Structure formats: C-alpha cells, structure tokens
A = this chain, B = another copy of it.
Amino acid sequence: MARFFMIRFNYKPAGTSPLSLISPSAASGPPALTLIQYNGEKIFEAEFETIEALLERYDPSMVNWIDIDGLGDVGCLKKLAAHFKIHPLALEDVLNTTQRPKLERYDDHFFIVGEMVYYNNEDVLCFEQVSLFLGAAFVISIQEERGHDVFERIRQRLRSGAGQSRFMGADYLAYALLDATVDQMFPVLENVGDSIEAVEEGLLAKPSPKSLTSLYEAKRLLLLLRRTIWPHREIFNSLIRDESGLIHRETQIFLRDCYDHVTQIIDIIESYRDLTAGLMDLYISSLSYRTNEIMRVLTIVSVIFIPLTFLAGVYGMNFNADLPLNMPELNWHFGYLFFWVLCGTLAVAMLVFFKKKNWL
C-alpha cells in the first residue's frame, strides 16, 4: 500500500458526440476472445482469433459466455454490438473505463457495469471495470485489462459440471460473475482491518506519523471501496425486483444472497470509517496529552531553577565589596548557608504551588 490510490475518471472534450468510440489509452494489443458454451449435458470452450469466428459458433439453444479480455480492439466490439443489437451508448460506456457501476435495461438484454478489485501480481490493489451483457441465451463479459481476472473458479465449476451451475440459465451465470466481483472485496477489507488494528495497537503506546499515514491511507481506500460498492446495491436491488423475465425466480434467491453480501460490505466499510475517525481523534488527543505532560515537566523544572539561577548569578556579581553597601551578604558569616536555605525554601514553595495546581 505504498502508493495512494487516486480517484479515477476520464472524459471526452465537452461537446464531443456521445457516440464516438475511443479505446482507452492504457489498452494495448488485441483482446483475448473466449467462448464457453454449455447446457446441462455438454460444455464447449475455445479461444478465437476473430470475433466473426466466435459469433459463427454462437448457439442460442445453449448458454453462451463470451469473454472479451482487453479493450484494445474497437472494431471487434462494434461487430459484437451489431450482432447482439447493443446500443452505441452502452458500447461507449464499455470503453469509458471509469464508469460508475450501473444497470441499464434494453429491450432484450441487460447491460451491467461492475468493478473488480484485486491485488495484482506485484501486490498492488487494482480496480478494473468489467461490463456484462445479459440476454436470454448469452452473457458477454468485457474486461478492461488483459490478464488477471476473478472468474477462473467459475470456469472450473462449469468445466467440472459439479453443482447446479451447468443446469441453470444465463442469468445464473451472470449472477455468478457478479457474485465473484463482489466477493473479492472481502480480502481487501480484511487487509484494511488488519492495518487499522495495527495502528490501534501502536497508537496509544507511541503516536507516530507512520500511524497517521496508515490511517489516512485506510480512509482513502475505504472511500474508493465505498464509491465502488454503493452502486452495486442498486444493481442487485433492480435485478431482484426484475419483471422482464430475464431473471428466473430461483436465481433471484441467489441474487438476494449476493445483495446481503453487498449490504454486509457496506456495513463493514461504514464501521471501518467510524473506527478510523475515532482513531484520528485518539491520535490527536493522545498527542495533546503527551505534549501537556512534556510541558509540565519542562515547566516544573524551569520554574524551580530559573529563580535559583538568578540568585546564584546575583551572588556571583563583582560589585566592589569594599564599599559598605555593596553585597554585604558575601561577608556574612552564614551567607552561604543563608543562600541554600533561601533556595530550598523557594523550591519547596514552588513544589507546594505545583501540588496545589495538581501538576505533580
């Protein structure tokens, strides 16, 4: 967590046509095109070179999962859009990789923008947009960056044919993808929790600027996660209440479960935010207390010794002692003793004063 995570957004110059499609600058190279086709009985999985080849294999009697990994090829997306009658604005949202997660209903399919959060190979937290199109017989998932994704486990479940996943429709597949998207927030939150706990332990013993930075980073990360997760709540809520027929009743129960996860994540994020705010208060209070204590010691020692030092300075003066009025104390028989008694009395008086002030 060495780097602060910025709030991302990109935009086209004001007044540009909303339908102009621009591949995000970060994208590079052609995307990987994969098709997984299955029903209760069989499963077919292949990677294709061109989108035309893939679309030829498309079979509406089975569930078709078309996965496009990378946004480097706008032409390929346009062909896909033409085939599935995807609205140009939806396509533009796919390419604008800093969309807010959302659900759009079109005539015969849903368009869902989600956000994956994961630690990449260098252990840096990444946010990656994933766009889903859900039709009666197909799910198209379009990922922002080629490479890492969080769907591998779902592919394995489909291949193995274990459980019920192969026997349910495209809506269940979409649910599974969204569920995987949401659930990978938990390990991230666990990390945040650990770092908050670490701060908590160190804070009272010795408040350090390092705890402060950790706290601020946690706060900032929570802000980003919150921005990402909140819109999901709405997405699932819409899906659960869907009446278009695209979502079957059995799947809705699963979506409800996923909605619960989202609620729990929001809940944890809010609690962590409260905790970090509390720790910030604790930090300042604790520092104030330490400063107060340091000042107290400084003050006590200074206030006792400063007058004494002055006194010692006085009797170190070189006034001509031969003149009768000058520094007669120096020649007193008990002069030195008198000096120490005076010092002692002053010091004790000060201590009594401090005691009364409750500073000792």
Residues of A participating in the B interface, judged by any CB pair closer than 8 Å: 4, 6-7, 9, 11-20, 87, 89, 92-93, 98-100, 102, 104, 150-154, 157, 162-165, 176, 179-184, 186-187, 189-190, 193, 197, 200, 204-209, 212-213, 216, 219-220, 223-224, 227, 253-254, 256-258, 260, 263-264, 267-268, 271-272, 274-275, 278-299, 301-303, 305-310, 312-321, 323, 325-327, 329-337, 339, 357-359
- Contact residues in B for A151 (Cβ distance below 8 Å): 15
Partner of A323, one of B197, B268, B327, B333: B333
Determine if B310 and A358 form an interchain contact, defined as CB atoms under 8 angstroms apart. no
Q: How many copies does the complex hold?
A: 5
For the complex, give the distance between the alpha carbons of A253 and B272 in Å.
37
- Contact residues in B for A162 (Cβ distance below 8 Å): 17
A348 to chain B, nearest CB (A): 16
Determine if B6 and A193 form an interchain contact, defined as CB atoms under 8 angstroms apart. yes
For the complex, give the distance between the alpha carbons of A57 and B306 in Å.
87
Given pairs A6-B193, A223-B275, A295-B299, 7 additional interface contacts (CB within 8 A)? A9-B186, A9-B268, A18-B179, A19-B164, A216-B278, A298-B298, A302-B302
Determine if A297 and B305 form an interchain contact, defined as CB atoms under 8 angstroms apart. no
Determine if B254 and A289 form an interchain contact, defined as CB atoms under 8 angstroms apart. no
- Contact residues in B for A295 (Cβ distance below 8 Å): 291, 294-295, 298-299
With known contacts A9-B264, A268-B9, A312-B310, A337–B325 Cβ distance under 8 A: yes
For the complex, give the distance between the alpha carbons of A99 and B192 in Å.
19
For the complex, give the distance between the alpha carbons of A335 and B321 in Å.
10
- Contact residues in B for A187 (Cβ distance below 8 Å): 11
With known contacts A17-B157, A193-B6, A301-B307, A100–B267 Cβ distance under 8 A: yes
Determine if B278 and A9 form an interchain contact, defined as CB atoms under 8 angstroms apart. no
- Contact residues in B for A302 (Cβ distance below 8 Å): 298, 301-303, 306
A216 to chain B, nearest CB (A): 5
Determine if A153 and B318 form an interchain contact, defined as CB atoms under 8 angstroms apart. no
A156 to chain B, nearest CB (A): 8
- Contact residues in B for A212 (Cβ distance below 8 Å): 204, 282, 285-286, 289
Determine if B309 and A323 form an interchain contact, defined as CB atoms under 8 angstroms apart. no
Partner of A18, one of B104, B200, B257: B257
With known contacts A289-B209, A298-B298, A317-B339, A14–B223 Cβ distance under 8 A: no
For the complex, give the distance between the alpha carbons of A303 and B316 in Å.
21
Determine if A268 and B15 form an interchain contact, defined as CB atoms under 8 angstroms apart. no
A94 to chain B, nearest CB (A): 13
Complex: chain B residue closest to A261, CB-CB: B11
* A182, A306, A337 interface centre (most CB from chain B within 10 Å): A306
Complex: chain B residue closest to A289, CB-CB: B209
- Contact residues in B for A223 (Cβ distance below 8 Å): 271, 274-275
Complex: chain B residue closest to A222, CB-CB: B274
Determine if B193 and A204 form an interchain contact, defined as CB atoms under 8 angstroms apart. no
